[in-house]
Structure 1
Amino acid sequence: MKRLVKGFAVSLLGLSMLVGCTTQAPGTGDKAAGDKKEQITVGLAISTQSNPFFVTLKEGAEKAAQENNIKLVTVDAQDDPAKQISGIEDLIQRQVDVILVNPTDSAAVVSAIKSANHANIPVITVDRSAEGGEVVSHVASDNVEGGRMAAKYLLEKIGKQGNIVELEGIPGSSAARERGKGFHEIIDKEKGVKVVAKQPADFDRAKGMSVMENILQGNKDIKAVFAHNDEMALGALKAIQAAGLKDVVVVGFDATDDAVAAVKEGRMSATVAQKPELIGKQAVELAKKVANGEKVEKNVPVELELIKK
């Protein structure tokens, strides 16, 4: 009986060795440590897909991913900081090679970035910066300079005289903070102008219209409006037209298709072009370099342009 049991155990051992030897043929198994992956997987945690600017940014990223044989996995936060944190955690669980983050809230996203750091997944911020965590690079236009460009043009159009309304983006976002900073660096130096209202409209067209309607109820003596993005600018434009006001200078930011069309038609005065497709493209190309262990610049600027009729 003992011989039978012993013989059975030896047979099992031989079978397990045979299985171990035949499940991984030469060249078909896992690669040795240090070898480059055949395909890089990049996660894109985007703030929203309801804003045309970020739709275009994603399209630029997708095009670059296809050109570079990169698998792109996108999670949409729908402008919800908690949802974005959850999305980034999902990308970490998927063990992507690099995470591109377009923060909904620059402070709230820090915990998720630190989670990626802990998992040894490199993080690149896109368009908006983060207030903490380890970020290997930041791809964006200079929002502060864009705010200055908008202010200089606006002052020129109104002759440095009159009341101005400022529609702010999502509170806590770096884009809103930086665009406002650049704008006020120029505007606050002029004694002939006054910012009579400064309210957030969350980068949203419908909110831009409702906020502007409320502002106009208390003050119709408005010479100009600076909106931190085109969606709010287009919403404000509707409110201005509905109120029967004319010759109000409206300047937006992003150069979305709708905004550029409004500028060409003379309904909107100008918009600061940020080139979202190029931002998305450069972010993915940068992610490829990072995944392959190449050194990259800490900041990758994307040029700005003022679009006017």
Structure 2
Amino acid sequence: MLAGSGWAAGVAGEAGEGQARPRLAYLVSDLRIPFWDILWRGIRSRAEGLGYRVQVYSANNGAKRELEHAVKVIRGGVDGIIVSPTNSSACATILKFARQGGIPVVIADVGTDGGAFVSYISSDNRDGAYRIGKVLTRRMHALGWGDGRVGIIAIPQTRENGRARTAGFMEALDEAGIRGAGIRQQVDFSYQETYPELFIKKGAPRSTN
């Protein structure tokens, strides 16, 4: 990831024979979530291939712990930081501290509410959610459920990518003339949180197909 910024290649080129390898820190919101674990494995593989040492620091979905990790690695003098933050506001704080320490930062997903960084790597969250919404609304109309409503269980809207996903999905609903039925934001991203009985509405239409 850092190689794409042009910064990594320069640092790697300066580390000659016998010199210590440059160090990277990956600050991630919660390594227990499979998506972040997969991303970490990719970061580690690429970083090691470029001659870097890299250490991961999981916040276990806690912004306070994430900030503690950031302060630790900045004081420890890492050469670069990759961050997948707990939320976009927290990311802005990390960027502020990293800039004060003269450490470059790459953001890997989620996004930031502000601050200076080398690169932001993400998917097109708004378009992806819009496309999912189009698939859902076409199916609803095909089943004769055009008068139905759609509830949204979303990642936190304090995340830039969360806001983008919601906006794209709502755009698809609006175009199809289907109403929303409110939004519930995830907190711990667990199965139990996503599928509670609260969201199971008695008498809701169900497909037999």
Q: Which TM-score tier does this pair reach, normalised by the shorter chain?
A: 0.7 to 0.9
Report the alpha carbon displacement of residue 166 of structure 1 after superposing the two structures with TM. 0.6
8 Å CA contact retained: 1:197, 1:215: no
1:189 aligned residue = 175
Q: Deviations over 1:180-228 (max 9, x none)?
A: 011111212332x222232112333221022xx2122xx33556xxxxx
Residue 36 of structure 1 pairs with residue 20 of structure 2: no
Residue 71 of structure 1 pairs with residue 49 of structure 2: no
Residue 174 of structure 1 pairs with residue 160 of structure 2: yes
- TM (normalized to structure 2)? 0.82
Report the alpha carbon displacement of residue 157 of structure 1 after superposing the two structures with TM. 1.6
Pick aligned residue for 2:207 from 231, 247, 257:
247
Q: Deviations over 1:56-107 (max 9, x none)?
A: 1111111112222210111101111111111111110121111111110111
Pick aligned residue for 1:204 from 178, 183, 190:
190
Instruction: State how far apart, in whole Å, the 2-side matches of 1:88 and 1:188 are.
Output: 41
- Residue 91 to residue 125, structure 1, CA distance change in 2 (3 Å): same
Q: Deviations over 1:90-134 (max 9, x none)?
A: 110121111111110111232221010011101111111111121
Pick aligned residue for 1:100 from 82, 85, 89:
82
Instruction: State how far apart, in whole Å, the 1-side matches of 2:124 and 2:41 are.
Output: 21
Instruction: State how far apart, in whole Å, the 1-side matches of 2:155 and 2:204 are.
Output: 20
Percent identical:
22
SS at match of 2:176: coil
1:215 aligned residue = 199
SS at match of 1:135: coil
Residue 127 of structure 1 pairs with residue 109 of structure 2: yes
8 Å CA contact retained: 2:91, 2:111: no
Q: Which runs of 5+ in 1 are unaligned?
A: 1-34, 224-245, 249-265, 267-309
Task: Give the number of equivalent residue pairs.
Answer: 188
- Larger relative contact order, structure 1 or 2 (CA cutoff 8 Å, min sep 6): 1
For the aligned residue pairs, the C-alpha RMSD in angstroms reads 2.0
8 Å CA contact retained: 1:163, 1:222: no
SS at match of 1:107: helix
8 Å CA contact retained: 1:164, 1:222: no
Residue 52 of structure 1 pairs with residue 30 of structure 2: no
8 Å CA contact retained: 1:84, 1:109: no
Pick aligned residue for 1:112 from 88, 91, 94:
94
Q: Which has the larger radius of gyration?
A: 1
Instruction: State how far apart, in whole Å, the 1-side matches of 2:170 and 2:203 are.
Output: 20
Instruction: State how far apart, in whole Å, the 2-side matches of 1:209 and 1:178 are.
Output: 23
Instruction: State how far apart, in whole Å, the 2-side matches of 1:220 and 1:179 are.
Output: 28
Instruction: State how far apart, in whole Å, the 2-side matches of 1:172 and 1:140 are.
Output: 16
Instruction: State how far apart, in whole Å, the 1-side matches of 2:207 and 2:52 are.
Output: 49
Instruction: State how far apart, in whole Å, the 1-side matches of 2:116 and 2:75 are.
Output: 19
- TM (normalized to structure 1)? 0.57
